[in-house]
C-alpha cells in the first residue's frame, strides 16, 4: 500500500492511472485480445529493458514509473495489427534512446515513446494509429480530467494550451473553423498535447519557455504536416525535432550550469 501511495503522490502515477483508464475505455469500446495484451507487453518489456540497461551502465537497480508511462504510450499508439516484433523493437529503441542518447541517468534527450515509435516507422508492418484514444470524445474527457490538475501543479499547463492554439489556427488555413475545431478536439491530439509534449525530462519549462514550448512543437508539427512526412507521424516527428532543439539551445546549458555548481 505504501508503494501505491508514493506512486500516487508522484505526478507520473496520476498519468499512469489516466493511461490505464484510457486503455480500459478503448477495450470496452471495441475489445480484442491483442489490444488487451499490447500495452501489457509494452510496459513489461520497457520496464525490463530499463532495469537491465540501468544495471549495466550505473550498477544500480532502479524501477522508474517513467518506464510504465513509456510502455503504455507505445501500447496505446502503435496499432495492435502491427507485428509483435514491431512492438518489441519500438520498446527496445525507446529504452536505448533513454539510456544512451542522454547526458546521464534521467537526463535523456528525446521523448522515449516518440523516438521508439518513429524508429519503427520505417518497418512496413508498423502502423501508428493512436488506437487507444482515436475513437471518440470520451478519451478527450478522460485526458482532461486526469491530466489537467497534474499539469497545473507542475506549472506546465500552458504547454498544451499554446500547442492547441497553434494547431487549431494552422488548421483554419486549410479547413473551415468548424472542421478545425473538430480535428483538434480529438483524443489523439489531446494525448499528444497533454501527456507527450509536457514530459518533464524532454521539455523545456524555464522562464518564458513554459509558454513557448507548446508554440515551438506546434510550429514544427505544422511544418512536417505541410511537408508531407508520410513515412511517420508528423506529431511525433515534430516533437522529436523540438526535443533536439530544446536540448541544444536550452537544456544543455541548464545542465552544464547545474553540474558546475556542484
Map residue 157 onto helix, strand or coil. Answer: coil
Does residue 259 have a pLDDT over 60? no
pLDDT at 251 over 60: no
Q: Which of 92-96, 191-195, 221-225 has the lowest mean pLDDT?
A: 221-225
Strand partners, 102: 108
Count of C-beta atoms within a 10 Å radius of residue 95:
25
pLDDT digits (tens, 9 = 90+) for 5-29: 665 668 899 999 999 999 999 999 9
Looking at residue 262, its pLDDT comes to: 41
Q: DSSP letters along 56-86, please?
A: HHHS-----HHHHHHHHHHHHHB-TTS-HHH
Instruction: With a cut of 50, say whether residue 255 has pLDDT above it.
Output: no
Find the helix packing angle between 209-227 and 158-172, rounded to 10°. 30
What is residue 131's DSSP assignment? T
CB atoms within 10 A of CB 8: 12
- In angstroms, the CA 47 to CA 26 distance is 23
Q: Given this model, what pLDDT does residue 124 score?
A: 80
User: Which domain does 83 fall in, by range?
Assistant: 2-260
Domain count, the chain: 1
The whole model's pTM is what? Answer: 0.91
pLDDT > 90 fraction of the chain, expressed in percent and rounded: 69
Q: Quickly list DSSP for 197-236.
A: TT-TTTS--STTHHHHHHHHHHHHHHHHHHHT-TTS-HHH
- Torsion, Cα 246 250 255 261, to 10 degrees, reads -170
Q: List pLDDT tens digits, range 118-169.
A: 999 988 878 999 999 999 999 999 999 999 999 998 999 999 999 999 999 9
What residues are paired with 176 via a beta bridge?
none
Cα separations in angstroms, 156 against 241, 250, 259? 20, 17, 24
Q: Give the Cα separation of 27 and 112 in Å (integer).
A: 25
Amino acid at each position: 500500500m505504501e508503494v501505491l501511495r508514493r506512486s500516487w503522490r508522484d505526478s507520473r502515477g496520476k498519468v499512469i492511472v489516466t493511461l490505464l483508464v484510457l486503455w480500459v475505455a478503448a477495450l470496452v469500446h471495441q475489445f480484442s485480445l491483442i489490444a488487451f495484451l499490447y500495452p501489457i507487453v509494452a510496459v513489461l518489456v520497457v520496464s525490463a529493458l530499463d532495469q537491465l540497461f540501468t544495471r549495466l551502465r550505473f550498477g544500480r537497480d532502479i524501477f522508474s514509473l517513467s518506464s510504465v508511462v513509456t510502455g503504455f504510450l507505445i501500447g496505446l499508439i502503435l496499432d495492435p495489427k502491427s507485428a509483435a516484433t514491431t512492438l518489441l523493437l519500438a520498446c527496445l529503441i525507446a529504452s536505448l534512446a533513454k539510456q544512451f542518447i542522454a547526458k546521464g541517468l534521467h537526463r535523456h534527450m528525446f521523448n522515449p515513446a516518440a523516438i521508439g515509435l518513429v524508429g519503427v516507422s520505417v518497418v512496413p508492418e508498423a502502423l501508428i494509429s493512436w488506437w487507444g484514444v482515436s475513437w471518440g470524445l470520451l478519451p478527450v474527457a478522460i485526458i482532461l480530467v486526469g491530466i489537467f490538475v497534474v499539469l497545473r501543479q507542475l506549472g506546465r499547463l500552458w504547454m498544451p494550451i499554446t500547442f492547441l492554439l497553434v494547431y487549431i489556427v494552422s488548421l483554419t488555413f486549410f479547413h473551415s473553423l468548424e472542421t478545425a475545431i473538430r480535428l483538434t478536439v480529438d483524443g489523439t491530439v489531446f494525448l499528444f498535447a497533454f501527456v507527450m509534449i509536457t514530459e518533464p525530462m524532454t521539455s523545456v519549462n524555464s522562464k518564458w519557455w513554459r509558454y513557448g514550448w507548446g508554440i515551438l512543437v506546434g510550429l514544427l508539427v505544422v511544418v512536417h504536416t505541410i511537408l508531407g512526412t508520410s513515412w511517420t507521424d508528423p506529431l511525433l516527428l515534430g516533437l522529436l525535432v523540438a526535443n533536439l532543439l530544446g536540448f541544444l539551445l536550452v537544456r544543455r546549458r541548464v545542465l552544464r550550469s547545474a553540474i558546475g555548481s556542484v
